[in-house]
Structure 1
């Protein structure tokens, strides 16, 4: 009996370490985004500062297991074995849920997840106890405090609205003062701005960062609580003076200093207060075991009979556990690629300028953007022209020609990054003082979205995608609560009835799911690296254009050749699953080529003057590539639809003829690929000359099918599919040859000019 609960404790602590890694991977977005997005320092420097903040926060952590016991359920209503079931269900759910969000590269709240997991698991066990005791469902109020869940929901809504509005307002004022040419204005108003920002961040550290820290004397915390206005005024005067001295007499950038201090502060607060979200449940379980085990040795009370009234008090976390947890968090911060993915999701939504968008527009985003455009037009009618021109001048961005040298520019400037950290610090500090349930994740994210909106980062070209992205993330927050509640309730019920066997099965499932998630993530990362992702802003000279074009064509041809062969084979075998897989592969290829075409504007802007004539060549190259992809996509989709609708299979002779075309196409594509990969371009002329034989073969097959219809063919659907495949194959060959002809002519002209 004791061994089973010791096993549960060991599992809980292993799960806690795993939870730390997935939790940090998600919450790192809160304190890294502003510094990384503005490139205030190198990534290594930013991670060092954040790591120090995390380590200090972990050591200075209050160590109180507040979330697991504070009003979610009444421990006195549960026996020891039931409490352990609740904690086990919570940890399994938390790991799977956070890992899911990390894999989707979406930020979510670890506090919300842990609260609703505790709520779901405790509600499930409470209902089972009520049913067993034949009590009314109204007795659930004796077990659960539903007000806490309502408070968290209220906190989500409050965080979203207030953080977005305040962030947008403060950024608008800051940008109006500094403009985008802040290097000039900062000499005059930078001292005051630095004073306000560093004071806000310092106050945030004092109120939120070291709140309840066990190593800080209570008298000092009481002094801070009783003299808030005096501390704020003193800090403002001192930091304003220091900031002005730095600006006037040193070459240091005060905005960089603000950003790095803010990064440290948010990292410290995260580790100091959110650490218990990851290790609090196992600590509470360990304390519960100690309480029961002591009573068991004294009186022999069974786990099913020992009530957990004693758990209602504070559950103190040993300092060495906090230090160990802090070490795990720091290591994760440096090594986790998923943390970078979540971070870049928010940076991508907040970035200035256009580019590839992660999210697709929806009805709500289109409606909001259209309403905003109409509102702006209405304001323009009312506002005097002089005021409009003045505002427009303050918000006009400096023109800069994007070249290879500065393509890796910041997502936003340091004024916005400083405002992000300053506003987030102020809002979280105020909420903590007023005991309002604002979430660090929600505040940090919505402030960043508000500042990007007022900074005109969401232009007409990108607004609908960015707004859709914000709604996706916000929707994910509410889904977190629902999924956490339901999953934890299900897991708790399964363990309650299945005991040890159910627990082992759930752990195996959890390990398999996390492993599958890890492998799937690695596969996606490899696909991203292998995908055709040409940055047109890096193509400056004709030589680079030729090199990248040949590489691009070679990759597309290789994938088309592979898919064509698979479709012909699987069409003959009537293999629906493999045809569906080919269809998905083609969908990705279509998106990639479409993305390349959407970047033509930046490609043309980036060319040097001697290479502008290459624009037409590049545009036509992409157009022919799109024609090729559309042809193979049409072939694949028609084949999939034919098999999916259970139509008759193509005749043996038809499949045999298609296979012969596939073999000839494979030879053609291989010759093209070898020529382009080797950068020799010597065989292109011969390939173009050989095209007539291949096209004649396809035309002969079309005539053969016409003869079949007149004599033996009886299936209209087969005829439709077969003609479609042959005609699209003909279009594919024609587009390929046209592309090669264009490439050869451009390459030959370039060689003549160069010589």
Structure 2
């Protein structure tokens, strides 16, 4: 029996290593995006600073391990086997959850998943125990007060981070304005001193106050003297550095990166290794005192404070640092939050939603009311502090150093407060919502971008809430299977988890989205020629993908109509809607890339051909959407089928249209437009044939009986939309030819 628990323990520890790598890869953007987005320092310097913070935070984060040991449930009521079942359930659920969410492309939070996986597993085991022993109450077995405190802290952090991010950034912007170099000489010392003091106070005194830090007792006794001394010294040093022409905001941003990466490691390390280390501690205690009674020995010893060996913490720090430097995900730091919080308005990588549109309209009405309530002179003065025409940005930066410093310092403080209270606040929640709040206060959400950015925020937050519910439910199911299935079920589920883990990593490598990689490369490109080359490749790949989809949807549409296959028609409508949303997203990304290029005459010419080509692609989708709607309605109502004569004359033309789409596909994919003239001639010939067919059908419609009128009109509509499809295919050839000529000149 002992060998089974050793295998379970080995599985937990191996998974802890995978979680450390995946956690840093997924969450690196949380503590890197502000420094990278503001171009505070070269990328490698920012990584080095973050690596130091991660190593220190991981090495001193022992206190947070208590959350996984007894923060969610009371281990004194559970046997060793039940505790191991809870731990194993949590990690298996985590793998399944990540696999599902990665497949669906939904965002997750490691903190939320860890808390609700433990809660779901413990709840299931508590229910089973209470059924077997009516004297036990489910709520007594769970640490409900602490669990509720943790859950409330996680979700309140969303509102708190957004509120303080907005308020603090608004104050900072009023003080500094967008041309911070004008006001910095007067505020350098005090602002720099306060920022550095806040970082040191919360990181050293609060953030590490409950950790295994050698001098914490002395620090706690001399807190007031340390804070005052730090404020005086740092203020003087910052003022002197400013006089020496050093940009102190860059120093604050790098210090904030250090503090936030330290807070991330100290706060989130429990999400990655807390459960496996709980299993290890339980096993060690059982081997020392359990006498082999794995199904009756209670784990009351887990209620004591965690005493994680230093070598585990140091090894975790090393793994996280290595992952930070070598993970592709960590390297591609230009992620959702940078895009959503950038300074300039423009096309968004998210669409819009009804809720977002309603919230924006409501917020605009409230803002207009408040604007009328504020005296005009005060309003004018405040507006003068938000003059974006004077903005001081580093080359290629998404926002300025003032906002970056607020994002980092404030996020670090909020997370450190949670860490000092042993509340596992989600680093993702806090950093993302602070960034969103600061961008809102900075008036970066204009009328043209507010709906898109709010939709993006809601999409991310919605994914977090889905994570909570999914983790809780899946953990209950898996815990029940393990409890009733015994060791056979445990071994089987471990095998499933290992398969999913291996399969997920393989699929992740195979399914790397070339469009997203290209988009990141476009944003990182320094030279205009390189940027345009990458952008044209992005456009080309997007267009040929769309042509494949249009061809398949056109075939399904006509087959569904003539075969009266309603399911196929509905599936085609769903595909068309999905293709339209994907193409719009790709077009928004490409527009962002175009906006990063210079505004010379050549770029403006390329811009025109790009937008004309994108419009023709959308018009093809719209033509098929209109046709599919009419066809689906006709078949759904069980009206008369399309006459056999119409089918016989249309199907050969349908096949020629599909061949023409394939020819345009090959033409664009080859990047050589020698055959563009031939393609246009073929398109013109097909259009003339379809026009003649349309005229013939109109004559038939006038002569058709009342019973055949609906079918005749549906067929006529199909011919009209086929003609529209051919028109836009010919236009796409011409626009692609002009775009390629602009590129080669």
TM-score bracket, normalised by the shorter chain, equals 0.7 to 0.9
Q: Say which of 346, 364, 380 aligns to 1:389.
A: 380
Contact 1:103–1:521, Cα closer than 8 Å, also in 2: no
1:729 aligns with 2:727: no
Counterpart position of 2:257: 263
Contact 1:121–1:485, Cα closer than 8 Å, also in 2: yes
Structure 2 SS opposite 1:28: helix
Contact 2:166–2:438, Cα closer than 8 Å, also in 1: yes
Q: Say which of 272, 275, 280 aligns to 1:278.
A: 272
Contact 1:204–1:426, Cα closer than 8 Å, also in 2: yes
Sort the Cα spacing of 1:655 and 1:242 in 2 relative to 1 into closer, same or farther, 3 A. farther
Deviating more after overlay: 715-724 vs 75-84: 715-724
Counterpart position of 1:243: 238
Q: How far, CA to CA, are the matches of 1:354 and 1:495 in structure 2?
A: 52
Q: Over residues 594-643 of structure 1, what are the superposed CA-to-partner deviations in whole Å (9 max), with x where a residue is unaligned?
A: 46877879969953257767776665444444333322444556667777
1:465 aligns with 2:456: no
Q: How far, CA to CA, are the matches of 1:427 and 1:746 in structure 2?
A: 50
Structure 2 SS opposite 1:461: coil
Counterpart position of 2:307: 316
Contact 2:37–2:338, Cα closer than 8 Å, also in 1: yes
Sort the Cα spacing of 1:626 and 1:399 in 2 relative to 1 into closer, same or farther, 3 A. farther
Offset of 1:148 from its aligned partner?
Answer: 1.3
Structure 2 SS opposite 1:65: helix
1:326 aligns with 2:299: no
Deviating more after overlay: 236-245 vs 697-706: 697-706
Q: How far, CA to CA, are the matches of 2:339 and 2:514 in structure 1?
A: 20
Q: How far, CA to CA, are the matches of 2:399 and 2:32 in structure 1?
A: 14
Sort the Cα spacing of 1:537 and 1:630 in 2 relative to 1 into closer, same or farther, 3 A. farther
Offset of 1:354 from its aligned partner?
Answer: 2.4
Alignment of 1:376-415 (within 5 A): 376-398=367-389, 409-415=396-402
Q: Say which of 607, 627, 633 aligns to 2:599.
A: 607
Sort the Cα spacing of 1:740 and 1:470 in 2 relative to 1 into closer, same or farther, 3 A. closer
Sort the Cα spacing of 1:374 and 1:83 in 2 relative to 1 into closer, same or farther, 3 A. same
Unaligned runs of 5+ in 1: none
Structure 1 SS opposite 2:297: coil
Offset of 1:663 from its aligned partner?
Answer: 4.2
Q: How far, CA to CA, are the matches of 1:447 and 1:330 in structure 2?
A: 25
Contact 1:26–1:98, Cα closer than 8 Å, also in 2: no
Deviating more after overlay: 282-291 vs 194-203: 282-291
Structure 1 SS opposite 2:40: coil
Counterpart position of 2:687: 695
Structure 1 SS opposite 2:335: helix
Contact 2:124–2:480, Cα closer than 8 Å, also in 1: yes
Q: How far, CA to CA, are the matches of 1:116 and 1:536 in structure 2?
A: 37
Sort the Cα spacing of 1:201 and 1:674 in 2 relative to 1 into closer, same or farther, 3 A. same
Q: How far, CA to CA, are the matches of 1:307 and 1:747 in structure 2?
A: 73
Offset of 1:114 from its aligned partner?
Answer: 2.3
Contact 1:81–1:303, Cα closer than 8 Å, also in 2: yes
Alignment of 1:384-533 (within 5 A): 384-398=375-389, 409-431=396-418, 438-511=425-498, 513-514=500-501, 518=505, 525-526=512-513, 528-529=515-516
Q: How well do the aligned residues superpose, as a CA RMSD in angstroms?
A: 4.4
Contact 2:53–2:261, Cα closer than 8 Å, also in 1: yes
Unaligned runs of 5+ in 2: none
Sort the Cα spacing of 1:212 and 1:748 in 2 relative to 1 into closer, same or farther, 3 A. closer
1:179 aligns with 2:170: no
Q: How far, CA to CA, are the matches of 1:488 and 1:461 in structure 2?
A: 42
Structure 1 SS opposite 2:137: helix
Sort the Cα spacing of 1:84 and 1:549 in 2 relative to 1 into closer, same or farther, 3 A. closer
Q: How far, CA to CA, are the matches of 2:435 and 2:228 in structure 1?
A: 27
Contact 2:518–2:534, Cα closer than 8 Å, also in 1: no
Q: How far, CA to CA, are the matches of 2:372 and 2:272 in structure 1?
A: 54
Deviating more after overlay: 311-320 vs 7-16: 311-320
Sort the Cα spacing of 1:474 and 1:228 in 2 relative to 1 into closer, same or farther, 3 A. farther
Deviating more after overlay: 123-132 vs 379-388: 379-388
Q: Say which of 208, 215, 219 aligns to 1:224.
A: 219
Number of matched residues? 739
Contact 1:130–1:140, Cα closer than 8 Å, also in 2: yes
Contact 2:343–2:399, Cα closer than 8 Å, also in 1: yes
Sort the Cα spacing of 1:285 and 1:531 in 2 relative to 1 into closer, same or farther, 3 A. closer
Q: How far, CA to CA, are the matches of 2:533 and 2:306 in structure 1?
A: 67
Q: How far, CA to CA, are the matches of 1:744 and 1:715 in structure 2?
A: 44
Counterpart position of 1:252: 246
Sort the Cα spacing of 1:521 and 1:358 in 2 relative to 1 into closer, same or farther, 3 A. farther
Q: How far, CA to CA, are the matches of 2:140 and 2:521 in structure 1?
A: 61
Structure 1 SS opposite 2:513: helix
Q: Over residues 389-440 of structure 1, what are the superposed CA-to-partner deviations in whole Å (9 max), with x where a residue is unaligned?
A: 22212111136999xxx9x832211111111122223334445556777554
Q: Over residues 193-215 of structure 1, what are the superposed CA-to-partner deviations in whole Å (9 max), with x where a residue is unaligned?
A: 1111111111122134433443x
Sort the Cα spacing of 1:319 and 1:367 in 2 relative to 1 into closer, same or farther, 3 A. same
Q: Over residues 5-48 of structure 1, what are the superposed CA-to-partner deviations in whole Å (9 max), with x where a residue is unaligned?
A: 12211222222223223333343343222112222223333222
TM-score, with length taken from structure 2: 0.85
1:664 aligns with 2:656: yes
